[in-house]
């Protein structure tokens, strides 16, 4: 099923002009984290680790892209707003 989700992601973004290479990079980093968590929804996310994996250096860029992915319906993002508690991410079936 997870291979299908990745294929569906790439099919969907072909038609979505809002998606940039940074969005794709962030989605792929989140997909890998989902994979590492045995495809469980939701999974905990470390902003620092995801930014590093996605090769995103700017905090504003990260926040814009993760908010966009959430608003565009690619993920469901539940930020914790507490440094001691991880944010949660749901990967959405596309």
Q: What is the pTM of this model?
A: 0.94
Convert the pLDDT of each residue in 3-14 to its tens digit: 888 999 999 999
Q: Residue 76, preceding bond cis, omega within 30 degrees?
A: no
The residue-averaged pLDDT of 84-93 equals 93
Strand 87-91: give its sheet, edge to edge.
Answer: 43-45, 87-91, 75-78
Convert the pLDDT of each residue in 34-88 to its tens digit: 999 999 999 999 999 999 999 999 999 999 999 999 999 999 999 998 888 899 9
Distance separating alpha carbons of residues 35 and 43, to the nearest angstrom: 10
- At 81 the pLDDT is 85
CB 93 within 8 A of CB 2: no
- At 1 the pLDDT is 52
- At 79 the pLDDT is 94
């Amino acid at each position: 099923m997870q291979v299908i989700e990745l294929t569906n992601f790439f099919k969907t973004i072909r038609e979505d002009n809002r998606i940039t290479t940074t969005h794709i990079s962030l989605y792929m980093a989140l997909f890998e984290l989902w994979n590492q968590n045995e495809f469980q929804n939701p999974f905990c996310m470390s902003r620092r680790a995801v930014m590093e994996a996605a090769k995103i250096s700017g905090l504003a860029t990260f926040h814009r892209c993760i908010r966009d992915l959430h608003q565009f319906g690619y993920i469901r993002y539940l930020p914790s707003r507490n440094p001691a508690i991880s944010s949660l991410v749901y990967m959405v079936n596309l």
